[in-house]
Amino acid sequence: MTIILGIETSCDETAAAVVRRESPDAPGEILSNTVYSQISDHAAYGGVVPEIAARAHVEGLDAIIARALAEAEMTFDNIDAVAVTSGPGLIGGLLVGLMTAKAIATARGLPLIAVNHLEGHALTPRLTDGLEFPYLLLLVSGGHSQILLVEGLGTYRRWGTTIDDALGEAFDKTAKLLGLPYPGGPAVEREAAKGNPKRFALPRPMKGEERLDFSFSGLKTAVRREATALAPLTDADIADLCASFQAAVTDTLADRMRRAFARYREEMGDGAADLVVAGGVAANTAIRTMLANLCAENDFTLHAPPLNLCSDNAVMIAWAGLEHYERGELATLDIAPRSRWPLDPAAEALIGAGKRGAKA
């Protein structure tokens, strides 16, 4: 049996979790999942303030770890290794988590596992659904919008990425523009449910292009243009703008994913095929519904993590750490945090890509 403590502090969630697996061919089990969200700390600023986030991690992480162990009915004596997010993310937060994990590993004589935050998202369905490699991944969060082929543990090929804003960032900035509360994604989704998605003819960036990249900056600008022309906005205007924005997003994603499905079939052949959607934006109901329908039309099976595992959490870090631990892939105590850490280091950097969003 392998039992892993996971620690996540890459942005504005302070999290710890414990997972275990009886053997490498057995399903995994979540023993605890403890998350302290800093939303109230950052709401007044309309986004994450790195210094405030790091301070909150320092103040709360020890208690969160203790709670995760207590909920799992474990002590450090039961833990086989400590897995911690080492990047990408806000450097201050990463330092807090990594130094805490190093201290635990040193004091308790435990192995240390450095986990890529994005890999945590990518591997979550292997814990929740028992998913086998290979599969297609749509990663959509505040800092990343990517399409990747997941061929195996540590083997990822990036097929598409954003050339400007990430999707979660576009949701947050649209919400801020319209005077909606932080976090912006859920606020836009709530307003969209009340609005008319056909009122505003917003652009579908990159739609129709063969390349699988994303662009959301122009869509965000189009919303600003419409909002400025209508000012002052009524409640109906805000709802219709949100609905039109969300419709443009889902149409754009649908176009990108149809092309990704076709490429997957060309490269991987017929047979069983799986799509994983991960990241904070994966909690959006309209996007999930669109992807479910699209998968059904193209003979793919959709795997979307439970809502509490879409946003940043330590379960995914513990699980990714467990998979690497079972392969003997450990870190040394001199490992440093990385604010940027691509899943596919061989992928070519795009002009405008790699901006530091609110989330990793």
- Residue 322 scores a pLDDT above 70: yes
> What does the pLDDT read at residue 352?
53
Cβ proximity of 186 and 168 under 8 Å: no
Which residue in the block uniquely carries the two structure tokens 């979540």?
30
67 phi/psi in degrees, rounded to 5: -70, -40
Calpha distance 333→345 (Å, rounded):
23
Q: Would you state the pLDDT for residue 351? A: 56
Per DSSP bridges, beta strands 13-21 and 2-8 are antiparallel
Q: Is the confidence at residue 357, as pLDDT, over 50? A: no
Of the two residues 311 and 106, the one the predictor is more confident about is 106
DSSP assignment of 254-290, as one string?
HHHHHHHHHHHHHHH-SS--EEEEESGGGG-HHHHHH
Query: Which segment of 34-48, 158-172, 344-358 scores lowest on mean pLDDT?
Result: 344-358
Which residues on neighbouring strands pair with residue 274, listed in sequence order?
A: 301
Q: With pLDDT > 90 as the criterion, what percentage of the chain qualifies?
A: 89
> Is residue 358 scored above 90 in pLDDT?
no
| Three-class DSSP category at 75 | coil
Domains in the chain, CATH or no CATH each: 2-127+308-326 (3.30.420.40), 133-307 (3.30.420.40)
Which residue carries 């070519």 as its tokens? 348
Calpha distance 67→314 (Å, rounded): 13
- pLDDT band for position 142 (50/70/90)? confident
Taking CA atoms, 2 is separated from 58, 69, 123, 323, in Å, by 28, 15, 17, 10
Which pLDDT band holds residue 44 (cuts at 50, 70, 90)?
A: confident
pLDDT in tens, 246-302: 999 999 999 999 999 999 999 999 988 999 999 989 999 999 999 999 999 999 999
Per-residue pLDDT, 47? 85
| 340, 354 Cβ separation under 8 angstroms | yes
**Six-digit token string for 303:** 């795997």
Residue 340 confidence class, pLDDT cut points 50, 70, 90: very high
CA atoms of 252 and 275, how far apart (whole Å): 17
Q: How confident is the model at residue 348 (pLDDT cuts 50, 70, 90)?
A: confident
Q: Which amino acid is at 52?
A: I
What's the rounded mean pLDDT across residues 301-306? 95
pLDDT, tens digit, for every residue of 198-211?
999 999 999 999 99
Mean pLDDT of 128-149: 94
Report the C-alpha gap between 37 and 312 in whole angstroms: 9
The token pair that represents 290 in the structure block: 């669109």
